[in-house]
């Protein structure tokens, strides 16, 4: 998969997640959060009005700290495909 193909597939996966209206499992959202942050090189600290949510987000980012942006995109795409395939 070329870099351009990867970017297109990643953006499509992000769009499908954003357009989906059902509730997602918390662990799935945390993985997507970490992959998205790594994929987009977003280094700002997690913020939430709930300190516990911020702690979970920080932990998810810590677990993904050694993943390259391209690998994070691949993992994000794979997680989204898996979710929509097996959610029922």
The predicted pLDDT at position 44 comes to 79
The predicted pLDDT at position 49 comes to 83
pLDDT in tens, the chain (88 residues): 899 999 999 999 999 999 999 999 999 999 999 999 999 998 777 877 888 988 999 999 999 999 999 999 999 999 999 999 987 5
| Predicted structure pTM score | 0.90
Domain boundaries, the chain: 3-86
The predicted pLDDT at position 32 comes to 97
DSSP state string for the chain: --HHHHHHHHHHHHHHHHH--SPPPHHHHHHHHHHHHHHTT--PPP--SSHHHHHHHHHHHHHTTT--HHHHHHHHHHHHHHHHHH--
The predicted pLDDT at position 72 comes to 97
The CATH architecture to which 3-86 belongs is Up-down Bundle (1.20)
């Amino acid at each position: 998969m070329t870099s351009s193909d990867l970017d297109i597939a990643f953006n499509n996966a992000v769009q499908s997640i954003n357009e989906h209206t059902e509730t997602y499992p918390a662990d799935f959202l945390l993985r997507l959060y970490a992959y998205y942050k790594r994929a987009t090189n977003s280094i700002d600290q997690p913020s939430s009005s709930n300190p516990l949510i911020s702690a979970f987000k920080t932990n998810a980012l810590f677990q993904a700290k050694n993943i390259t942006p391209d690998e994070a995109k691949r993992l994000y795409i794979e997680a989204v495909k898996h979710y929509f395939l097996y959610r029922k």
